[in-house]
Structures are given as structure tokens and as C-alpha cells.
Amino acid sequence: MGGSSRFQIAVVVVTVVLVVLGMTVDGFSTELIPRHSPASPFYNPSRSHYEHLQDAIERSRKRLNHFENKIEAPLSPGDIEYLMRISIGTPPVEFVAIADTGSDLTWTQCLPCTQCYKQNFPIFDPRRSSSYNTISCKADVCFDLQTISSGCDRSNGTCEYLYGYADGSRTQGTLSIESITIGGAVIRNNIFGCSHISTGTFQKIGGSGIIGLGAGKLSLVSQLGESGRKFSYCLAPYSSKSTSKISFGSDAFVSGVSTPIQSDPAYDAFYFLTLESLSVGNKTIPLPSSNGVIRGGGGNIVIDSGTTLTLLPQETVLRLSSALEDAISLPKTVDPSRTFNLCYRVEGETEFPNVTADFKGARVVLRSINTFVEVADGVVCLAILPTQQEVSVFGNIAQTNFLVGYDLDARAVSFKPTDCTKAN
């Protein structure tokens, strides 16, 4: 009987939470804007396609370095590739923020500023919004975020947070409740961070904050109660420069093959998956179950839209390269930037052998576009690099032309091959 009464209490609590949160939106979609695309406010037309790519690779290597000494959200916000348009408050105030599948807190800079960095959009003033509310530090949600610290502001009892990123960037402010508008849909009573002090690399990125799409309790996705805690995106090829689409709730498209999301309580925000093996033709390369001290809750790779390259253990990359070399008869060459180790000289369109990624329960066939990248005219290299870090990453080149669905209720990530330039 104890079980059933606990269940009843749970139902009551859930109902109360839903009523309090009052989110009645079913589903919504918006653009995911690559940093290098003409639609991005940070677009620099004077840089070539290859230079943009080189920048992205540099960013993904830096982002990875930060996985190493992480204690907090394991990324450098400046290294992320995708942006989203979002509005906040009533009346809504629009800005562009970074979309991040590797952290949970959605935040923007708020007036009054104690220490704000320069941003391209006006800073949000909560006093001008009729839907803004603070949260008491006595509320449980005050401690639902994996922060450096959160707690009471002594003068008025509001919940204050200090959220950190592994490159040393910090943002600090008042945990608040507000309406957020995405793709025309208004999501009421969203918990977000109203930051008054932000230090570190945010200055460099210019975005007005971060949209947390991680797996933790307070991420934007986790807060989509009734409509289904899920989202999906379809990333267009890097070279197409076109924007991609991201969909939430009932708009999210979760189908195709699916693999379980593993969780590690020490890394709340991460979507850990289990990659069992890679194969080229009939050569199979098994992956180690864990790559060091990060346990991954049984998973061995983080899927991340913000990292450009795929990063795997050194031994795996060596064996994969050798299997590919055996299967490819093109002339080898060196990468002018010396980033990549396996490069070929190509003329015109070339199909490279498929690499089959066997995730637990899900076979994903990676095609040339997912594994090779043109780094200079006629030079194509394997876009998978070794990492000595604690964690492997399934990056965004590998996810190109798949509809990738994240379902936090079913705790699964799904992949469906799709032409993402047409799907958008």
C-alpha cells in the first residue's frame, strides 16, 4: 500500500507542478543558425568556406580541451556552432543566443548590470516585463541545477545561482520564471537565469546568452512537461551554408533507429550514448566501454551538436584509419593545416566507404559527408580525431543529414537518414 500512496502523492505533485508551470504549448520549431552562415549575426563574409571550417575545427578542439578539467558545465560557450532566435518576457524582447546540448541553464543578461559584457541586442529589463517572477531560495528548483553554487540572496530571499563553464567562464544572477517565445510559440513559466554578472569568453561570442538543451532537470527541454520532453534537429551539410531546423515537444520528430541515453549524475547535462563498434566493410572495430574517469553511466560517448568533429580514443582512430586506408585507392596527401592525419587528393565528387556505427540497439550508417571533410581545394580528410581526454564525442559533422531526435521521457536518441537541406 505504501507504494500506491507514494504514487498518489507523486500524481498530486506532478499535477501541481504542471498547473504552476502552466505550459500548454504542444510543439514548436525554429531555425538553428550555423555561426558561419549568412543568417548569423556573427557571419564574416570576408572569410572563405575553408577558413570558416578551420575556425570551427579550432573551436571544437578547444571545446574538447575543456572536457578534461571540467567540474562544471564542460564547454566553452564561445566554441559552439549553432545559434537560435528567442524572445523573452511580455512584451517579448528578441535576441540571438547559443543553442547548447551540453549545458542546462538557459540564461540571458539582465538589467541592472553589475558586470555585463557587450551584446548585439538590448539587455533584457525584467522590470518592463509583466510575466517576470523571481523564485524563492526555499523552493526545491533552486537546487535542481548542477551549479557551482545556488542559494539565498540575504536581503530578499530570492534564489541566486553561480553557473560555471569549464573554461573558467562564469555567469551569476537570479533564477527566475518568465515567458519564452520560440518560433512563434509562447512557453509560459519557464525557469531561466537572469544574469547580472558574466565573466570569461562570453565577450568574444557576442550572443546574448545560452539556451540550455542538455539532459538535466532545468534545461529547456526538461521543462516541456505536457507536450513531451523531446526535441529533434536536422543539420544541413556544412558546405550548404543553409540553416537547419530544430523542433520541440509534439513537433519533434523521433523515429528511425534508437539507442538509450545513459546518465552520469556527475555530468547531468550530457547525453551519453553507448557506441559498441565501428565497421568498414567487414572489418569491425570494437570501442572500449569507458574512456577514463568519466563513467558516463555505462555510456562511452557524448552526442553533442556544438562540437564539429568526432573525437574517439586514439587506438580506435588508428584502427579505423587503417581499415579505411585498405578500402580506399585514391592518392594520399597531407593536410595543409596539419590538423588531420588521413587525407586524400580527390577530383570531383568522390564516395568514400561507409562507416557503420553500431550504437546499442541502433545501426547508423555514416556516409562520406559524415566522416570526410574537404579542408582545401581537392583535399579531403577523415574528420574523426583521436582524443586523450576522458570522453569521446559524436560531433555535428557525423550527424549531418540525419534527423536526430532526443526523447527525455523514453530516454533515447534516434537517428533517421534525411536530406536536411530539403527538410528545412
- Give the residue numbers marked as catalytic: 100, 304
> What is the secondary structure of 240-297 as a DSSP string?
G---EEEEEETT----SEEEEPB--GGGTT--EE-EEEEEETTEEEEPPS--SS--GG
Cβ nearer to ligand NAG, comparing 137 with 302: 137
- Does residue 227 belong to the site contacting ligand NAG (CB under 6 A)? no
Peptide bond into 91 cis (omega under 30): yes
Q: Does 353 bind ligand NAG (CB under 6 A)?
A: yes
N-terminal to C-terminal alpha carbon distance within the chain = 51
Instruction: Tell whether residue 151 is a contact of ligand NAG (CB under 6 A).
Output: no
When asked if residue 300 is in the footprint of ligand NAG (CB under 6 A), the reply is no
322 lines the binding site for ligand NAG (CB under 6 A): no
Residue 77 sits at the vertex; the CA angle it makes with 152 and 161, to the nearest 5 degrees, is 0
If you ran DSSP here, which 8-state letter would residue 354 be given? P
For ligand NAG, which stretch binds (CB under 6 A), given 139-147, 164-172, 209-217, 351-359? Answer: 351-359
Binding status of residue 367 toward ligand NAG by CB under 6 A: yes
Q: Which is nearer to ligand NAG, 157 or 288 (CB)?
A: 157
Smaller CB separation from ligand NAG, 222 or 370: 370
Please, what is the minimum distance in Å from the beta carbon of residue 368 to ligand NAG? Answer: 8
Among residue numbers 272 through 291, which ones bind ligand NAG (CB under 6 A)?
281-282
Which parts of 160-199 interact with ligand NAG (CB under 6 A)? Answer: 174
Site for ligand NAG in 83-142 (CB under 6 A): 134
134 versus 341: smaller Cβ distance to ligand NAG: 134
The stretch among 70-78, 81-89, 294-302, 349-357 that binds ligand NAG (CB under 6 A) is 349-357
Q: Does 71 bind ligand NAG (CB under 6 A)?
A: no
Stretch that binds ligand NAG, among 92-100, 135-143, 151-159, 184-192 (CB under 6 A): 151-159
**Cβ atoms < 10 Å from Cβ of 420:** 22
User: Does 354 engage in binding with ligand NAG (CB under 6 A)?
Assistant: yes
Q: Does 365 bind ligand NAG (CB under 6 A)?
A: yes
**Part of the chain binding ligand NAG (CB under 6 A), chosen from 80-88, 163-171, 293-301, 348-356:** 348-356
What residue type is 110 in one-letter code?
Answer: C
Instruction: To the nearest 10°, report the CA torsion of 415, 207, 166, 259.
Output: -10
By beta-carbon proximity to ligand NAG, the closer residue of 65 and 368 is 368
Task: Identify which of residues 156 and 277 has a Cβ nearer to ligand NAG in the complex.
Answer: 156
Please state the closest distance from residue 174 (CB atom) to ligand NAG, in A: 6
Cβ neighbors of 390 (< 8 A, separation 6 or more) are 67, 68, 291, 292, 293, 294
Quote the least distance from Cβ 160 to ligand NAG, whole Å. 7
By CB under 6 A, is residue 156 in contact with ligand NAG? yes
Residue 6: CB partners within 8 Å, gap ≥ 6?
none
What's the angle, vertex CA 344, arms to CA 338 and CA 348, rounded to 5?
125
Tell me which DSSP letter residue 127 carries.
G
Backbone angle region of 408, left / alpha / beta, with phi > 0 → left and psi within -120 to 50 → alpha: alpha
Exposure b/e, 330-359, CB count within 10 A at least 16 = b: eeeeebeeebbebbbebeeeeebbbbebbb
| Burial degree of 216 (CB within 10 A; 0-12, 13-18, 19+) | buried
Nearer to ligand NAG, 155 or 329 (CB): 155
Site size with ligand NAG, rule: CB under 6 A: 13
Q: Which residues bind ligand NAG (CB under 6 A)?
A: 134, 153, 155-156, 158, 174, 281-282, 351, 353-354, 365, 367
